[in-house]
Amino acid sequence: MKIAAGADHAGFELKQEIVARLRAAGHEVIDYGTASAETSVDYPDYGHAVARAVADGSAERGLLVCGTGLGMCMVANRHQGVRAADCFTPQLAEMTRRHNDANVLCLAGRELAADDAWKITEVWLATPFEGDRHARRVALIDAREQVS
């Protein structure tokens, strides 16, 4: 699978760990940065880069890491066709794939240990979208008009 990855300074170390494990598992990873935990950077720059890659089909999925995962999730969800989810447990990762067809995983670099983050990532990558009644609901997420 081709995966776009990005992080700010707070998520750099966890991103590096997960990217290494993704590559070892045979995935192709496009790393949009940042290149260091030493310099403070603006997380939206990396969140937009990864979300654009997923939205335009350059990558099948995206991985974003910041301190809490929340900021990156907000940025990514501004892009049409992107469904980003901030996951703290494998169960959340499974449900966001099964029911929401999430295509960008956001992780909390300051809150998750590398092994826990990897378990979340593995479940997220392996879980299929159920479709069926959920497909209609996912289509409503991307609807351009307000739904009442």
pLDDT at 127: 98
Pairing of strands 28-31, 61-66: unpaired
**Does a structural domain hold residue 148?**
no
Domain that holds residue 102: 2-141
**Does a structural domain hold residue 111?**
yes
**Does a structural domain hold residue 124?**
yes
106 catalytic residue (yes or no): no
**Does a structural domain hold residue 147?**
no
**Does a structural domain hold residue 128?**
yes
> What are 4's strand-pairing partners?
30, 62
Neighbours of 101 (CB within 10 A): 17
Measured CA to CA in angstroms, residue 2 lies from 5, 37, 128 at distances of 10, 25, 16
Which residue has tokens 């996912």? 138
Name the band, by pLDDT with cuts 50, 70 and 90, for residue 90.
Answer: very high
pLDDT at 145: 57
87 catalytic residue (yes or no): no
pLDDT at 142: 78
**Does a structural domain hold residue 146?**
no
Query: How many domains are there within the chain?
Result: 1
Q: Are 63 and 3 in contact (CB under 8 A)?
A: yes
What CATH number is attached to the domain comprising 95?
3.40.1400.10
Instruction: Indicate whether 146 pLDDT > 80.
Output: no
The single residue of 9, 27, 48, 66 carrying the catalytic annotation is 66
pLDDT at 143: 74
Per-residue pLDDT tens over the stretch 29-84:
999 999 999 999 999 999 999 999 999 999 999 999 999 999 999 999 999 999 99
